[in-house]
Amino acid sequence: MADYDVVIIGSGLGGLLCANILSREGLNVCIVEKNFKPGGSLQTFGRKGTIFNTGLNYTESLDEGQVLNRYFKYLGVLDKLKLQKLDTEGFEVIDFPDGRYRFAMGKENFLETLSKDFPAERQGLKTYLEKIKAVCDEISMYSFSEKPSNMINERHLNMGAADYIRSVISNNRLQNILAGNSMLYSGTENKTQLFTHALINNSFIESAWRVAGGSHTLVNILTDNIVKNGGTIILKQKVGKLVVEEGKIGCAVLANGEKISGKHFIANIHPESLLNMTEPGVFRKVYVNRIRNLENTMGMFTLYLVFKKDTVPYVKHNFYHFNQDNAWIASDYHPEKWPQNYLLMHTCTAENARFADSASVITYMDFAEVKKWEHTHTGDRGEDYLDFKNNKAGILLDAVEKQFPGLRNHVAAYYTSTPLTWRDYTGTRAGSAYGLLKDFNRPLESLITPRTQISNLFLTGQNLNVHGILGVTTSAVVTCGELIDANYLIRKIKAA
């Protein structure tokens, strides 16, 4: 039986980062991944010579001195990753029925741009920007002020993002503009914490980037590092069971029956999946009930468009459209009005930034829409499922054409994914996009810590503090801080 210092279940960003950090420190790590490719939501897929990202379309805070820049430098990723900066004068375009508004990059630029549209709200916008920065600065993994910790100021967990915005901004349109990219965090008006909103908006306003060549390039760098450090990555093997021996996890049992033993185990998977891997009674009933009763974020439907060569100019911004006034669609979702919003992002190749070779259009989709196929698997869901997807693709493309007339004529081919795709691809509950929903009404219940009731079993990934590339990176550091000296780790990141 193979024996490691640390066995990591899942090769999503969280698992890859933990393996990087721990293998650099001399620990013998092994990642076990159920898919044939590593990366989880960072995987890409190719069709007709075009590469599509799946769960990393843009990322944040990568300018010199900014938070993700510092983490990526420490990880030895930054100098190898090819980045394309989005438009500094408007990296997000927020399109409401009454007009288009821009998020400009940099605090001053952001303030000036929106103050032109809403001069009476200048002071409110200033207060808002100061607040979201202050919330981030209070997070030790963000400000590098002390040892990495999972503890987030409770005040910010208790406070709703929408409520906070309303408290400083009077204009209803501007309130909704500030939530205009809330699809990035499944923004739910009566649930989303200020903390989640602040971490995401503050970081993207600092700077926003695409990964040129596709998000798999980040995966390749991280897997190369792990292998160079002596780590092992096992693909196409699902961990089915964790065996408890004398109160600790002794080994992971893979689908082929092989057993992998380790001193420590890190689960980079949805916490509910972890519960299903152990015998009943291993976790206390109250913990099991708590995890099972937490709500998950909503799933997504994505339309991947391949464009005819050199027909669609590449634009360096994301386009968030709403066909209604309220931007908090996840809590105002009406299947009969689908799609109420969409996010359109162009992508270009590293060689040709004049024309887009493709675009992704993402919108919410409730699992109920695909529930009738829940017992089927990828590639074998039947003709009626394909009809359903094609029908939805047509409806979404019709909606997009209202803002981009004639776009359809430039489409050479299209592909789609639904919440079922995500469920089977990453193992997330009901195809939820970002895992557990962090709810300000249940602040401590929805705060998942890396420690579990089993002393050598830890959690990492998007279900901890915040999802997304930055959120998962900070969580990986917090998880590793449970296994190696956390202060030493943060000093090394600061020194990089």
Ligand X SMILES: Cc1cc2nc3c(=O)[nH]c(=O)nc-3n(C[C@H](O)[C@H](O)[C@H](O)COP(=O)(O)OP(=O)(O)OC[C@H]3O[C@@H](n4cnc5c(N)ncnc54)[C@H](O)[C@@H]3O)c2cc1C
Binding site for ligand X (CB under 6 A): 9-15, 32-35, 40-42, 55-59, 238-239, 268-269, 273, 300, 302, 362, 422, 426-428, 433-434, 461-462, 467-469, 472
CB of residue 475 vs ligand X: minimum separation in angstroms? 8
CB of residue 253 vs ligand X: minimum separation in angstroms? 11
Residue nearest to ligand X (CB): 12
Residues whose CB is less than 8 angstroms from the CB of residue 224 and which lie 6 or more positions away in sequence, other chains included: none
Instruction: Name the residue nearer to ligand X (CB basis): 10 or 160.
Output: 10
Q: Determine how many CB atoms are found less than 10 A away from the CB of residue 104.
A: 19
d(CA 223, CA 377): 28
Query: Contact, 343 vs 361, CB < 8 A?
Result: yes
DSSP line for 333-392 = --GGG--SEEEEEEE--SS--SB-SEEEEEEEE-GGGTGGGTT-BTTBS-HHHHHHHHHH
CB of residue 416 vs ligand X: minimum separation in angstroms? 12
Instruction: Name the residue nearer to ligand X (CB basis): 18 or 125.
Output: 18
d(CA 246, CA 454): 10
CB of residue 35 vs ligand X: minimum separation in angstroms? 5
Phi, psi (rounded to 5 degrees) for 141: -75, -10
CB of residue 360 vs ligand X: minimum separation in angstroms? 8
Classify strands 232-234 and 29-32 as parallel, antiparallel or unpaired: parallel
Instruction: Name the residue nearer to ligand X (CB basis): 169 or 436.
Output: 436
Query: Contact, 33 vs 268, CB < 8 A?
Result: no
Residue 97, classed as helix, strand or coil, is: coil
CB of residue 453 vs ligand X: minimum separation in angstroms? 19
Instruction: Name the residue nearer to ligand X (CB basis): 54 or 175.
Output: 54
Query: Contact, 293 vs 285, CB < 8 A?
Result: no
Instruction: Name the residue nearer to ligand X (CB basis): 34 or 102.
Output: 34
CB of residue 471 vs ligand X: minimum separation in angstroms? 7
Instruction: Name the residue nearer to ligand X (CB basis): 175 or 186.
Output: 186
DSSP line for 217-245 = HHHHHHHHHHHHTT-EEE-S--EEEEEEE
CB of residue 126 vs ligand X: minimum separation in angstroms? 27
Instruction: Name the residue nearer to ligand X (CB basis): 42 or 312.
Output: 42
CA dihedral sign of residues 247, 249, 255, 257: negative
Instruction: Name the residue nearer to ligand X (CB basis): 132 or 269.
Output: 269
CB of residue 330 vs ligand X: minimum separation in angstroms? 13
Alpha helices in 26-139 (DSSP H): 67-74, 107-117, 122-137
CB of residue 164 vs ligand X: minimum separation in angstroms? 22
Alpha-carbon 249 to chain mean position: 28
d(CA 16, CA 14): 6
Q: State the distance between the two ends of the chain, measured CA to CA, in whole angstroms.
A: 38
Question: What are the tokens at 28?
Answer: 């013998």
Instruction: Name the residue nearer to ligand X (CB basis): 251 or 362.
Output: 362
Instruction: Name the residue nearer to ligand X (CB basis): 111 or 243.
Output: 243
Helix H or strand E segment including 359: strand 358-365
d(CA 429, CA 305): 27
Q: Which residues on neighbouring strands pair with residue 266, listed in sequence order?
A: 8, 458
CB of residue 250 vs ligand X: minimum separation in angstroms? 17
Edge-first strand order for the sheet with 341-347 is: 99-103, 92-96, 318-322, 341-347, 358-365, 299-307, 411-417
For residue 411, CA distances in Å to 250, 305, 343, 414 come to 53, 6, 17, 7
Instruction: Name the residue nearer to ligand X (CB basis): 120 or 227.
Output: 227
